[in-house]
A and B are shown apart, each in its own frame.
Chain A
Amino acid sequence: MTTFAQKQSPAVRTTPDGARRSPAQKPRRRPKDRLAKVVIILLLLTGAAFAAFPIIWMASSSFKPNTEIFAYPPQLITSNFSFDAYITILTDPTKVRFFINSYVVSLAVTALTLLVAILASYAFSRYEFKGKRPINMIIVSIQAVPPITLLIPFFGLMVVLGLYNTYQGLILTYLVFTLPYAIIMMTGYFNTLPKELDEAARMDGAGPLTVLWRILVPISIPGIVSVGVYTFMIAWNEYLFALTLTRTEDMRTVPIGIQLLMGQNSYEWNEMMAMSILGCIPVLILFLFFQRYFIGGMTAGAVKS
């Protein structure tokens, strides 16, 4: 995956070269190219409107009073522009609690996933052992097990274990969905690192754990960030199990919190939109800062180096 991020930069660099070269070689094609460029820009803009308009509308609605949500004709910015919806949410302890819950669960899942996945990936990347292929195959196929199939036994299991309506219950549950992906991505990353690195350290008498923590982990930070960002997003966005395995308002996460706003007697659209904006900020920030790693994570599943 991150091999990909590394490969991408030369690929990107060759593109403008090609662009500069081709008009120089074939000056006759210039007007045609200009027309093509206009068409492409127009298509790009249409696509951007399709992708971004709903999001702009969400932001715009979060700044409106609820009475103006369906005002006719619709306006992007009304004269009553205000932060009231945000203030209502951020001063309501029940709603702030949704955010705290989401952070606690997502951060714990990310830390645990990274720890367990790094250990497993080290074994997959650096050792040959009996059962390696079947275990690897099981991990790949586990990704496909439908959440709804696990939901009913998980409900029973969590009640029996006393983990129903707790952080621990949710954290353990999410591990099942984040681990396979994390292990596959992490193994891919370790495989790109030369084995000579750890063999040299082994010669000096370092044990496998020392090699892993002192040599491999420090140079794998980009891969670890990729996996971490991706894991955080899966946990932050999860809905089905958060809905079923928690019961009380003080254990609900943000996605469920948004739905709870919808259930109350009237629809507070502006508050729902404000909460949505607040709810997507962590993922947006991660995305803007770690875009390359993020894209590495997205492409890891299907693109192989």
Chain B
Amino acid sequence: MASTNTVVRPGSTKSRTSGWAPTARKLTPYAFLSPTVIVMLVLMLIPVIMVIGYSFMDNVITNKNPVFVGIDNYVEVLSDPVFRTATGNTLFFTLVSVAAHLLLGLGFAMLLNSPLVGNVTKALFRVVYILPWLFTVAIIAVLWRLMLNPNGVVNYILISLGLTDKGIEWLSSPDTALLAVTFINIWAGYSFYMVTLLAGLQGVPADLYEAARVDGASAFQRFWNVTLPQLKPIIISMSVLDIIWTSQQFALIWMTTGGGPVNVTEMLSTYTYKLAFSRYEFSVASASAVLILLLTMVLAFFYVRHQKARD
């Protein structure tokens, strides 16, 4: 902050010392940006360089004098069957979550945008639909552990409806654990799409619908030919963001299943965390972390390109 003040001051006195003015004017934006740049250098660039460095060393942090070992850590991670399982689980978890988020979010947004329902009703339902999004993942995790307990209320409802005859151990059975955590994540995340798509729907020009109606388009045709193309840019950028976020989900998995039972819910994030903080293999964990970074950068590249195309 101090640097900002000192550099900016000449700028404010430029009316008097005209020789300074052009230089000061040029430097001003950099002065305003300097706190951001310093934070990002120290806490983003340096850590990223550090983790890349770690990934080429033998056991860092625990070992005082780490030695360069080349790509050994990468070979170890990539040949670990658990890493491959984790990649597959992350892919399933992410793609199913994102697809369900989009469908639920779009569905709710269209219901809330219906001209047949009163505005007060809409506002009320909108608040209710946003609720799951306001809870922190830690709360969502314990809440669903309570609900999905073998003696919990979800099993009670299923038994009452005759859908199952005994309590299912949703989170501790290898058959259902991955589905259960994915379901929880779907519940927790659709609101983001709903709110954004609702804003998008309200921005679709009404005369487009009028024109379609005059042409005799059915409700489905209006949705397919007017609504969807109008929402497409929003849907694409939200989906990419959601893929990035969901593939990094840690807390939900960590607090519900911890990656178990027998790795069926192991994700890239929990796998890496365990390597570092349960097994203290910081170097191998760094290699895994760098691989995750690379995967994410590919996604981010598409996101930035998409955003640029929209500008």
Chain A interface (Cβ within 8 Å of chain B)? 4, 7-8, 11-12, 14-16, 18-19, 22, 33, 36-37, 40-41, 43-44, 47-48, 50-52, 54-55, 57-58, 61, 69-70, 72-74, 115-117, 119-120, 122-124, 126-127, 129, 132, 135, 137-157, 172-173, 175-176, 179, 183, 205-210, 233, 236-237, 239-240, 244, 254-256, 258-259, 262, 269, 272-273, 276, 279-280, 283-284, 287-288, 291, 295, 298-299, 301-304
* Contact A145:B307 (CB < 8 A) given known A153-B54, A239-B136, A295-B195: no
Contact A145 B44 (CB under 8 A): yes
Task: Given A37-B116, A302-B196, verify A150-B136 contact (CB < 8 Å).
Answer: no
Given contacts A40-B117, A52-B128, A298-B196, contact A208 B293 (CB under 8 A): no
How many residues of B are in contact with the other chain, CB < 8 A? 109
- Binary interface profile of B, 130-156, with partner A (CB < 8 Å = 1, else 0)? 111111111100111111010111001
Interchain Cβ contacts under 8 Å between A and B, 18 examples = A7-B203, A15-B202, A16-B118, A33-B116, A51-B191, A57-B147, A58-B139, A58-B146, A116-B35, A123-B30, A149-B290, A153-B47, A179-B36, A207-B13, A208-B32, A254-B138, A283-B135, A298-B192
The chain A residue sitting closest to B139, CB to CB, is: A276
Nearest-neighbor residue (CB-CB) of A157 within chain B: B47
Confirm or deny: B282 has a beta carbon within 8 angstroms of a beta carbon on chain A: yes
**A279 surroundings in chain B (CB, below 8 A):** 136, 138-139
Cα-based distance from A4 to B125 in the complex (angstroms): 20
Of B67-75, B76-84, B174-182, B247-255, which binds chain A? B247-255
Given contacts A176-B44, A210-B12, A284-B134, contact A304 B310 (CB under 8 A): yes
Q: B residues 50-75 with Cβ under 8 Å of A? A: 50-51, 54, 60-61
- Knowing A123-B32, A207-B11, A280-B135, the reply to whether A54 touches B144 (Cβ < 8 A) is yes
Q: Add 17 more A-B contacts to A61-B146, A287-B134 (CB < 8 A).
A: A18-B115, A41-B121, A44-B125, A115-B35, A119-B4, A127-B32, A148-B250, A152-B51, A156-B60, A207-B13, A208-B28, A255-B136, A255-B137, A259-B142, A272-B146, A276-B142, A303-B199
Contact residues in A for B202 (Cβ distance below 8 Å): 7-8, 11-12, 15
Contact A37 B117 (CB under 8 A): yes
User: CA of A117 to CA of B147 in the docked complex: distance in angstroms?
Assistant: 41
Alpha-carbon gap, A276 to B303, bound state (A): 35
Checking A122, A239, A291 against B32 with a beta-carbon cut-off of 8 angstroms, the contacting residue is A122
Of the candidate stretches B91-99, B220-228, B236-244, the one touching chain A is B236-244
CA distance A144 to B241 in the complex (A): 8
A54 engages B147 (CB within 8 Å): yes
B111 to chain A minimum Cβ distance, whole angstroms, is 5
* Residue from the list A44, A148, A287 in contact with B130, Cβ < 8 A: A287
Q: Using an 8 Å CB-CB cutoff, how does the interface string of B243-284 with A read, 1 for contact, 0 for none? A: 010011011001100000000000011001100110000100
Given the complex, which residues of B lie within 8 Å of A288, measured CB to CB? 127
CA A73 – CA B112 in complex, angstroms?
Answer: 35
Q: Write out the residue numbers on chain A whose beta carbons fall within 8 Å of the beta carbon of B114.
A: 40
Bound-state CA distance A271–B144 (Å) is 15
Is B218 interfacial (CB 8 A cutoff)?
Answer: no
Closest CB in chain A relative to B64 CB, distance in Å: 13
The answer on a CB contact under 8 Å between B292 and A175 is no
Task: Establish whether residues B143 and A239, one from each chain, have CB atoms under 8 Å apart when the complex forms.
Answer: no
User: Is the C-beta of B212 less than 8 angstroms from some C-beta in chain A?
Assistant: no
Secondary structure type dominating chain A contacts:
helix
| B229 CB-CB contact with A under 8 Å | no
CB-contact partner of A150 in B48, B108, B111, B139, under 8 A: B48
Question: Binding site of B, secondary structure by majority: helix, strand, loop or mixed?
Answer: helix
Q: Measured between alpha carbons, how far is A288 from B128 in the docked complex, in Å?
A: 11
- Please tell me if the beta carbons of A299 and B196 are within 8 angstroms of each other in the complex: yes
The listed residue (B149, B286, B297, B307) touching A152 by CB distance below 8 A is: B286
A205 shortest CB reach to chain B, Å: 5
- How far apart are A267's CB and chain B's nearest CB, in angstroms? 9
B285 touches A (CB below 8 Å): yes
- Knowing A16-B115, A47-B125, A239-B251, the reply to whether A120 touches B304 (Cβ < 8 A) is no
CA distance A150 to B310 in the complex (A): 30
Q: Is the CB of A73 within 8 A of B156?
A: yes
A240:B250 contact, CB within 8 angstroms? yes
Given A43-B111, A240-B251, A303-B196, CB of A116 within 8 Å of CB of B296 = no
Cβ–Cβ < 8 Å partners of A273 in chain B = 142-143, 146
Across the interface, do A12 and B119 meet the contact criterion of CB distance under 8 Å? yes
Measured between beta carbons, the chain A residues less than 8 angstroms from B200 are 303
Residues from chain B with Cβ under 8 Å of A145 in the complex: 44, 48, 293, 296
Chain A residue at minimal CB-CB distance from B32: A123
- From B40, B135, B192, B234, give the contact of A138 (CB < 8 A): B40
Write the nearest CB–CB distance from B224 to chain A, whole angstroms: 18
Residues of A within 8 A of B35 (CB): 115-116, 119-120
Complex alpha-carbon distance, A127 and B27, angstroms: 10
A151 to B288, CA, bound (A): 12
CA distance A106 to B143 in the complex (A): 23
Return the chain A residue nearest B145 by Cβ. A262
Contact A302 B234 (CB under 8 A): yes
Contact between A47 and B111, CB atoms less than 8 A apart = yes
With A146-B296, A151-B273 in contact, do A135 and B115 touch (Cβ < 8 Å)? no
Known contacts A148-B273, A279-B139, A303-B200: A179-B12 contact under CB 8 Å: no
- Given the interface contacts A54-B147, A123-B29, does A144 sit within 8 Å of B303 by beta carbon? yes
Structural contact, B40 and A280, CB atoms closer than 8 A: no
B24 to nearest A CB, angstroms?
9
